[in-house]
Amino acid sequence: MQRSNDLILKTTTTIIVFIIMGFSIYLFFAGHNAPGGGFIGGLMTSGALVLLYVSYGFKTMERVIRFDFKNFIPIGLLIAVLTGVGSFFFGQPFLSHTDAYFELPILGHTHLATAILFDLGVYFTVVGVTMTIILNIAADEGEEELSKQNM
Protein backbone atom coordinates (compact mmCIF):
# COMPACT_ATOMS: atom_id res chain seq x y z
CA MET A 1 0.00 0.00 0.00
CA GLN A 2 1.30 3.43 -0.90
CA ARG A 3 1.78 5.42 2.27
CA SER A 4 0.42 8.96 2.05
CA ASN A 5 2.77 11.76 2.94
CA ASP A 6 1.67 13.10 6.36
CA LEU A 7 4.09 16.00 6.53
CA ILE A 8 1.79 18.22 8.59
CA LEU A 9 1.08 15.46 11.10
CA LYS A 10 4.76 14.62 11.51
CA THR A 11 5.87 18.23 11.88
CA THR A 12 3.23 19.13 14.43
CA THR A 13 3.93 15.89 16.29
CA THR A 14 7.61 16.75 16.75
CA ILE A 15 6.62 20.04 18.36
CA ILE A 16 3.64 18.84 20.36
CA VAL A 17 5.39 15.79 21.77
CA PHE A 18 7.83 18.07 23.56
CA ILE A 19 4.97 20.06 25.06
CA ILE A 20 3.14 16.93 26.21
CA MET A 21 6.34 15.46 27.66
CA GLY A 22 7.03 18.67 29.51
CA PHE A 23 3.49 18.77 30.83
CA SER A 24 3.72 15.14 31.96
CA ILE A 25 6.92 15.86 33.86
CA TYR A 26 5.30 18.95 35.39
CA LEU A 27 2.33 16.81 36.48
CA PHE A 28 4.67 14.22 37.94
CA PHE A 29 6.47 16.78 40.12
CA ALA A 30 3.34 18.75 40.98
CA GLY A 31 1.71 15.71 42.60
CA HIS A 32 2.56 16.60 46.18
CA ASN A 33 0.82 19.97 46.39
CA ALA A 34 -1.44 20.11 43.34
CA PRO A 35 -3.41 17.67 41.19
CA GLY A 36 -1.03 15.28 39.45
CA GLY A 37 1.34 12.55 40.48
CA GLY A 38 2.95 9.41 39.15
CA PHE A 39 -0.15 7.88 37.65
CA ILE A 40 -1.37 10.76 35.53
CA GLY A 41 2.21 11.74 34.70
CA GLY A 42 2.90 8.24 33.43
CA LEU A 43 -0.30 8.19 31.38
CA MET A 44 0.57 11.56 29.84
CA THR A 45 4.05 10.34 28.88
CA SER A 46 2.52 7.25 27.31
CA GLY A 47 0.17 9.58 25.44
CA ALA A 48 3.13 11.43 23.96
CA LEU A 49 4.83 8.16 23.01
CA VAL A 50 1.64 6.83 21.41
CA LEU A 51 1.37 10.03 19.36
CA LEU A 52 4.90 9.40 18.10
CA TYR A 53 4.04 5.81 17.20
CA VAL A 54 0.85 6.91 15.42
CA SER A 55 2.51 9.54 13.25
CA TYR A 56 5.86 7.89 12.53
CA GLY A 57 4.83 4.26 12.36
CA PHE A 58 5.98 1.15 14.10
CA LYS A 59 9.18 0.48 12.18
CA THR A 60 10.68 3.94 12.48
CA MET A 61 9.98 4.05 16.19
CA GLU A 62 11.58 0.67 16.66
CA ARG A 63 14.81 2.17 15.32
CA VAL A 64 14.51 5.26 17.57
CA ILE A 65 13.44 3.63 20.84
CA ARG A 66 15.58 0.59 21.34
CA PHE A 67 14.60 -0.47 24.85
CA ASP A 68 11.70 -2.77 25.68
CA PHE A 69 8.81 -1.10 27.51
CA LYS A 70 8.05 -4.40 29.19
CA ASN A 71 11.13 -3.89 31.35
CA PHE A 72 9.65 -0.65 32.68
CA ILE A 73 7.10 -2.63 34.69
CA PRO A 74 9.53 -4.57 36.93
CA ILE A 75 11.81 -1.52 37.16
CA GLY A 76 8.94 0.63 38.41
CA LEU A 77 7.71 -2.02 40.81
CA LEU A 78 11.22 -2.50 42.13
CA ILE A 79 11.67 1.24 42.77
CA ALA A 80 8.31 1.44 44.55
CA VAL A 81 8.92 -1.61 46.73
CA LEU A 82 12.51 -0.65 47.55
CA THR A 83 11.45 2.80 48.76
CA GLY A 84 9.27 0.91 51.22
CA VAL A 85 12.11 -1.40 52.17
CA GLY A 86 14.47 1.54 52.58
CA SER A 87 12.74 2.47 55.82
CA PHE A 88 13.96 -0.84 57.30
CA PHE A 89 17.49 0.54 57.47
CA PHE A 90 16.36 3.43 59.65
CA GLY A 91 14.43 1.18 62.02
CA GLN A 92 11.09 2.51 60.81
CA PRO A 93 7.97 0.55 59.79
CA PHE A 94 7.55 -0.48 56.14
CA LEU A 95 6.69 2.35 53.74
CA SER A 96 7.66 5.16 56.16
CA HIS A 97 8.58 8.27 54.24
CA THR A 98 10.50 11.34 55.24
CA ASP A 99 11.01 14.84 53.89
CA ALA A 100 13.27 17.82 54.40
CA TYR A 101 13.98 21.32 53.08
CA PHE A 102 17.14 21.94 51.07
CA GLU A 103 18.83 25.01 49.59
CA LEU A 104 19.43 23.94 45.98
CA PRO A 105 21.55 26.00 43.55
CA ILE A 106 18.89 27.01 41.00
CA LEU A 107 15.58 26.08 42.62
CA GLY A 108 16.34 27.75 45.93
CA HIS A 109 14.48 26.74 49.05
CA THR A 110 13.06 23.32 48.05
CA HIS A 111 10.97 20.73 49.80
CA LEU A 112 12.26 17.24 48.96
CA ALA A 113 10.36 14.13 50.05
CA THR A 114 11.17 10.45 49.59
CA ALA A 115 7.57 9.96 48.50
CA ILE A 116 8.68 11.18 45.06
CA LEU A 117 10.74 8.01 44.68
CA PHE A 118 7.63 5.91 45.23
CA ASP A 119 5.86 8.09 42.67
CA LEU A 120 8.72 7.47 40.26
CA GLY A 121 8.07 3.75 40.63
CA VAL A 122 4.39 4.30 39.87
CA TYR A 123 5.36 6.46 36.88
CA PHE A 124 7.60 3.78 35.35
CA THR A 125 5.05 1.04 35.95
CA VAL A 126 2.25 3.03 34.34
CA VAL A 127 4.36 3.89 31.28
CA GLY A 128 5.45 0.25 31.01
CA VAL A 129 1.96 -1.20 31.32
CA THR A 130 0.30 1.28 28.96
CA MET A 131 2.94 1.00 26.26
CA THR A 132 3.09 -2.81 26.55
CA ILE A 133 -0.67 -3.11 26.11
CA ILE A 134 -0.86 -0.69 23.17
CA LEU A 135 2.22 -1.95 21.35
CA ASN A 136 1.28 -5.62 21.76
CA ILE A 137 -2.19 -5.07 20.36
CA ALA A 138 -0.68 -3.04 17.51
CA ALA A 139 1.88 -5.78 16.84
CA ASP A 140 -0.90 -8.38 16.60
CA GLU A 141 -2.56 -6.34 13.87
CA GLY A 142 0.71 -6.12 11.98
CA GLU A 143 1.23 -9.87 12.11
CA GLU A 144 -2.20 -10.46 10.65
CA GLU A 145 -1.50 -8.15 7.75
CA LEU A 146 1.83 -9.83 7.24
CA SER A 147 0.24 -13.26 7.08
CA LYS A 148 -2.36 -11.92 4.62
CA GLN A 149 0.39 -10.62 2.39
CA ASN A 150 2.16 -13.95 2.47
CA MET A 151 -0.95 -15.84 1.40
Partner 1 sequence: MSNLVILPILLPLLTGIFLVFFNSKLPLVRMITKVMVIINLIAVSAIAYEVVQNGTMVLKAGDWTVPYGIVLVADPLAMVLVVTANIVATACAFYAFHSLDEQRERFYFYPLFQLLIAGVSGAFLTGDLFNLFVFFEVLLIASYGLIVLGGTKEQFRESFKYIIINLFSSILFVTTVSFLYAVVGTVNMAQLAERVGEVEQGGILTTIAILLLVVFATKGALFPLYFWLPKSYTVPPTVISALFGALLTKVGVYSILRVFSLIFVYDLTFTHQLFIILAAFTLIFGVVGALSTNNIQLIVAYNIIPAVGYMILGIGVFSATALAGSVYYLVHDMIIKAALFLLVGAMAAYSGTSDLRKMGGLIKHQPVLGWLFFIAALALAGLPPFSGFVGKLLILRGAFEEGHYTVAVIGLLTSLLILISIIKIFIKGFWGEDKLEKVPNISIRNKIMPAAFLLFFTVLLGIGAEFFYPTVQSIGDQIIDPINYIDSVMKE
Residues contributing to the site for partner 1 (CB under 8 A): 71, 73-74, 77-78, 81, 84-85, 88, 91-97
Smallest distance, partner 1 to C-beta of residue 90, A: 11
Smallest distance, partner 1 to C-beta of residue 73, A: 7
Listed as own residue / partner, the contacts of 138-144 with beta carbons closer than 8 Å and 24 or more positions apart are 138/53, 138/58, 139/58, 142/58
Burial (CB < 10 A; 0-12, 13-18, 19+), residue 63, is: exposed
The DSSP output letter for 95 is T
Output 21 or 78, the one with its CB closest to partner 1: 78
Cα–Cα distance, 38 to 127 (Å, whole number): 10
Smallest distance, partner 1 to C-beta of residue 133, A: 14
Output 19 or 112, the one with its CB closest to partner 1: 112
Output 51 or 115, the one with its CB closest to partner 1: 115
Smallest distance, partner 1 to C-beta of residue 41, A: 21
Cα–Cα distance, 19 to 27 (Å, whole number): 12
End-to-end CA distance of the chain: 16
Output 43 or 95, the one with its CB closest to partner 1: 95
